[in-house]
């Protein structure tokens, strides 16, 4: 009876975090995004102006360079109506660039830039997404893809009623066309209006038959306008309190409103508050190209030439690799992405003996901060326990000392300090190894 109760408790924990919808790929549950395996994803990455990267080899290489930061997502700039200077910008090019991102073990989020600041342009973006040749590309990659319907659609004059009606129709059209990925909706006022997203979000989620929406605010909020740490914290907390699936789709240290990039943003608070609230974010922008309209906007280019080794000192390196709340420190890539859409082995398979003499389970699994490894051994031995993350990096090691034959429950001391994500626990006596996968949730 005890084993049945334990199994039932473990199952209930799994069910409590798994997405309710049976969707073909990533799915929103509450305010979080999950893989079909039940692993929570907190997006950490950058934007990349791929459609304006004319060197196709560099376009592909950019993903590998971004991945060196440990990013788990790239927001891909694309166009519904490319001009003659945008090469390989049709559905075939879209297919290729999405695949390049997936091949680099990152989640592709494609956004259409055509309607920036123009709410009347929303319909043209919807018309693009519902084209059969574009739907075919979306469905080909739907296990991994996020569809950002329209970048920063609408200025500061868009009303709540207009916003609700426009996106209600967009959601219905795209779902009817067969697109079942998460749909990402930017705020109005060139993406900046988080209040619009908070007010419209619950309504739009109710209109989506898949309940699979993400709302994206672009935090070009100037310190000089009062967007200090307290303001940022209040705004993000208000969204979290609504249980709304919010991400920060764009932000940078300095930004422009007309031409010159002279407005300063408190990006450090964005990083720390998003970390506290488990809110995803994508920095603008990997670069180069932001200085095309004004030389001062070169500061928005995180790299000089799209390569990791030219990542610039200052805010770019901080966001990518040096901040305790930056990409390298906080990004987790689910095994589902690394394993090309295949879930990790089941608990029963993972607990099977890898080598004769040792087998194990981790309980409870998922863990909310404390778990034990239940080890079964056939002879007395000294055991070492290690924990590795999804990339295979060692994150914890402890010695269990001399253990007699039989079944033993050994607390995993490192778990309370580990970030949420998927891990593998390995037990070795020096000659044989057994392993079991488990998930940490916060």
Confidence tier at 268 by pLDDT (50, 70, 90): very high
DSSP codes joined into one string, 128-177 = HHTSHHHHHHHHHTTTT-EEE-STTBS-TT--HHHHHHHHHHHHHHHHHT
Task: Dump pLDDT digits (tens) for 286-296.
Answer: 999 999 989 99
What is the structure's pLDDT at 106?
A: 96
10, 224 contact by CB (below 8 A): no
Segment 354-383 mean pLDDT: 74
Task: Dump pLDDT digits (tens) for 166-180.
Answer: 999 999 999 999 999
Confidence tier at 345 by pLDDT (50, 70, 90): low
Q: Which residues of 103-121 are buried (b: 16+ CB within 10 A; e: fewer)?
A: ebbbbbbbbbbbbbbbbeb
Confidence tier at 11 by pLDDT (50, 70, 90): very low
Compute the distance between CA of residue 19 and CA of residue 33 in angstroms, rounded to an integer: 8
Residues of each domain in the chain carrying CATH 2.60.40.3080: 344-440
Q: Which of 44-58, 183-197, 243-257, 361-375 has the lowest mean pLDDT?
A: 361-375
* The pLDDT of residue 320 is above 90: yes
| C-alpha torsion sign, points 375, 377, 380, 382 | negative
- pTM, entire model: 0.76
18-338 homologous superfamily:
Glycosidases (3.20.20.80)
Residues of each domain in the chain carrying CATH 3.20.20.80: 18-338
| Pairing relationship of beta strands 280-283 and 44-48 according to DSSP bridges | parallel
What is the structure's pLDDT at 113?
A: 98
Q: Quick one: DSSP state of residue 21?
A: S
| C-alpha torsion sign, points 33, 251, 88, 126 | positive
What is the structure's pLDDT at 403?
A: 80
Interhelix angle 229-241/194-207, rounded to 10 degrees, is 10
We find that the CATH architecture of domain 344-440 is Sandwich (2.60)
* The pLDDT of residue 24 is above 80: yes
Task: Dump pLDDT digits (tens) for 118-174.
Answer: 999 999 999 999 999 999 999 999 999 999 999 999 999 999 999 999 999 999 999
Compute the distance between CA of residue 17 and CA of residue 19 in angstroms, rounded to an integer: 7
> Comparing C-alpha atoms, which of 84, 140, 139, 76 is closest to residue 113?
76
Backbone angles phi, psi at 386, to 5 degrees: -125, 155
Which two tokens mark 222? 């100037």
* The pLDDT of residue 86 is above 70: yes
Task: Dump pLDDT digits (tens) for 370-404.
Answer: 778 878 787 788 888 888 887 777 888 888 778 87
Mean pLDDT score of the chain:
88
Confidence tier at 238 by pLDDT (50, 70, 90): very high
Task: Dump pLDDT digits (tens) for 189-223.
Answer: 999 999 999 999 999 999 999 999 999 999 999 99
What is the structure's pLDDT at 344?
A: 64
Compute the distance between CA of residue 412 and CA of residue 400 in angstroms, rounded to an integer: 10
What is the structure's pLDDT at 252?
A: 97
What is the structure's pLDDT at 6?
A: 37
422, 72 contact by CB (below 8 A): no
């Amino acid at each position: 009876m005890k084993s049945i109760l334990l199994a039932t408790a473990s199952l209930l924990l799994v069910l409590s975090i798994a997405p309710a919808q049976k969707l073909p790929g990533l799915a929103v549950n509450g305010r979080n995004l999950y893989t079909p395996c039940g692993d929570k994803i907190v997006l950490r990455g950058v934007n990349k102006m791929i459609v304006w990267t004319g060197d196709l080899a560099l376009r592909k290489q950019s993903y590998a360079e971004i991945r060196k930061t440990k990013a788990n997502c790239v927001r891909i700039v694309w166009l519904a109506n490319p001009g003659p200077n945008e090469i390989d910008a049709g559905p075939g090019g879209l297919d290729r660039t999405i695949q390049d991102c997936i091949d680099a073990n990152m989640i592709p989020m494609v956004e259409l830039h055509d309607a920036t600041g123009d709410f009347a342009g929303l319909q043209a973006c919807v018309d693009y997404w519902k084209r059969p040749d574009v739907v075919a590309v979306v469905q080909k990659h739907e296990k991994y893809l996020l569809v950002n319907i329209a970048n920063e659609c609408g200025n500061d004059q868009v009303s709540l009623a207009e916003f609700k009606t426009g996106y209600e129709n967009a959601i219905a059209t795209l779902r009817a066309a067969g697109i079942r990925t998460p749909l990402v909706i930017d705020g109005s006022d060139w993406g900046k209006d988080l209040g619009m997203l908070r007010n419209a979000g619950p309504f739009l989620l109710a209109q989506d038959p898949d309940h699979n929406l993400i709302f994206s605010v672009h935090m070009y909020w100037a310190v000089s306008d009062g967007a200090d740490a307290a303001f940022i914290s209040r705004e993000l907390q208000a969204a979290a309190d609504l249980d709304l699936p919010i991400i920060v789709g764009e932000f940078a240290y300095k930004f422009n409103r007309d031409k010159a990039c002279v407005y300063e943003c408190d990006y450090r608070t964005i990083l720390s508050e998003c970390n506290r609230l488990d809110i995803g974010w994508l920095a603008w922008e990997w670069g180069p190209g932001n200085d095309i309209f004004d030389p001062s906007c070169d500061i928005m280019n995180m790299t000089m030439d799209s390569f990791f080794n030219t990542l610039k000192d200052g805010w770019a390196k901080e966001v990518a690799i040096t901040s305790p709340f930056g990409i390298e420190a906080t990004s987790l890539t689910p095994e589902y992405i690394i394993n090309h859409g295949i879930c990790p082995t089941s608990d029963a398979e993972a607990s099977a003996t890898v080598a004769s003499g040792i087998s194990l389970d981790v309980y409870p699994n998922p863990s909310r901060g404390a778990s034990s490894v239940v080890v079964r051994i056939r002879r007395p031995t000294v055991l070492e326990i290690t924990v590795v993350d999804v990339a295979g990096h060692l994150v914890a090691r402890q010695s269990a000392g001399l253990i007699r034959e039989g079944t033993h429950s050994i607390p995993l001391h490192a778990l309370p300090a580990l970030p949420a994500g998927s891990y593998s626990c390995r037990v070795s006596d020096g000659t044989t190894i057994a392993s079991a996968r488990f998930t940490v949730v916060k």
